[in-house]
A and B are shown apart, each in its own frame.
Chain A
Amino acid sequence: MGAAHPTEMSIEQGAAAAVARLTVVPQRRYGIWVGTALALLLAFLIIRAFASNPAFAWGTAAGYLFHPSIIRGLANTLILTVVIMALAIVIGTVIAIMRVSPSPVLRGFSGVYVWFFRGVPALIQLIFWFNLSLLVREVSLTLPFLGTIFSARTNDFMTPFFSAVVALSLCEAGYMAEIIRAGIKSVPSGQAEAASALGMPYRMILKRITLPQAMRFVLPPTGNEAINLLKMTSLVTFIAVDDLFYSAQSIYARTFETIPLLIVVAFWYLAVVSIMSIGQHFLERHFGRSDTSRSPLTMRTLRNALGLAGVAR
Chain B
Amino acid sequence: MSDVKSENRARFGVPADSMVFARGVRKSYGPLEVLKGIDLDVPAGSVACIIGPSGSGKSTFLRCINHLEKISGGLLLVDGQFVGYDLRDDKLYEVKDDLLCRRRAEIGMLFQSFNLFSHMTVMENLIEAPTQVRRIAPDQAKAEAEILLKRVGLLDKIDRYPRELSGGQQQRVAIARAMAMKPKVLLFDEPTSALDPELVGEVLQVMRDLAESGMTMVVVTHEIGFAREIGDQLVFMDGGVIVERGAPREMIADAQSPRTREFLSRVL
Contact = CB atoms under 8 A, between A and B. Distances in A.
A213 B118 contact: yes
Interface of B: 66, 68, 97-98, 101-109, 111, 113, 115-121, 124, 127-129, 131-133, 138, 159-161, 163-164, 174, 177-178, 181
Contacts of A300: 121
A101 interface: no
Please report whether the interface of chain A is mostly helix, strand, loop or mixed according to DSSP: helix
Nearest to B102: A199
A190 B115 contact: yes
B99 to A, nearest CB: 10
Contacts of B106: 199
Interface string A72-97: 00000000000000000000000000
A209 B105 contact: no
Interface string A213-244: 10010000000000000000000000000000
Contacts, number: 88
A193 B189 CA distance: 13
Contact of B117 (A191, A204, A303): A191
B115 A194 contact: yes
A196 B117 contact: no
Contact of B132 (A193, A194, A200, A296): A200
B119 A212 contact: yes
A199 B104 contact: yes
Interface of A: 188, 190-191, 193-202, 204, 208-209, 212-213, 216, 291, 294, 296, 299-300, 303, 309-313
Given A193-B68, A202-B97, A209-B117, A311 B105 contact: no
Contacts of B119: 212-213, 216, 303, 309
B142 to A, nearest CB: 9
A200 B129 contact: yes
Contacts of A204: 132-133
A198 B159 contact: no
Nearest to A291: B163
B138 A196 contact: no
The 5 closest A-B pairs by CB, nearest first: A199-B105, A194-B115, A197-B109, A198-B129, A190-B115
B113 A197 contact: no
Contacts of B66: 197
9 contacts: A190-B113, A191-B115, A197-B68, A216-B119, A294-B164, A303-B119, A311-B124, A311-B128, A312-B131
Contact of B133 (A191, A198, A303): A198
B113 to A, nearest CB: 5
Contact of B101 (A190, A200, A213, A296): A200
Contacts of A200: 101, 128-129, 132-133
A208 B66 CA distance: 22
Contact of B104 (A196, A216, A296, A312): A196
A262 to B, nearest CB: 46
Contact of A198 (B105, B113, B124, B164): B105
Given A197-B107, A200-B133, A311-B131, A296 B118 contact: no
Contacts of B124: 309-311
A204 B131 CA distance: 12
A196 B115 CA distance: 11
B181 A199 contact: yes
B181 A198 contact: yes
A235 B163 CA distance: 46
Contacts of A296: 121, 159-161
Contacts of A193: 68, 111, 115
A274 B42 CA distance: 65
Contacts of A197: 66, 68, 104, 107-109, 178
A201 B104 CA distance: 10
Contacts of A299: 161
B133 A199 contact: yes
Given A195-B117, A198-B128, A200-B133, 14 more contacts: A191-B115, A196-B68, A199-B101, A199-B103, A199-B106, A199-B181, A201-B101, A202-B97, A204-B133, A208-B132, A213-B117, A294-B164, A311-B127, A312-B138
Nearest to B105: A199
Given A296-B121, A296-B160, A194 B111 contact: yes
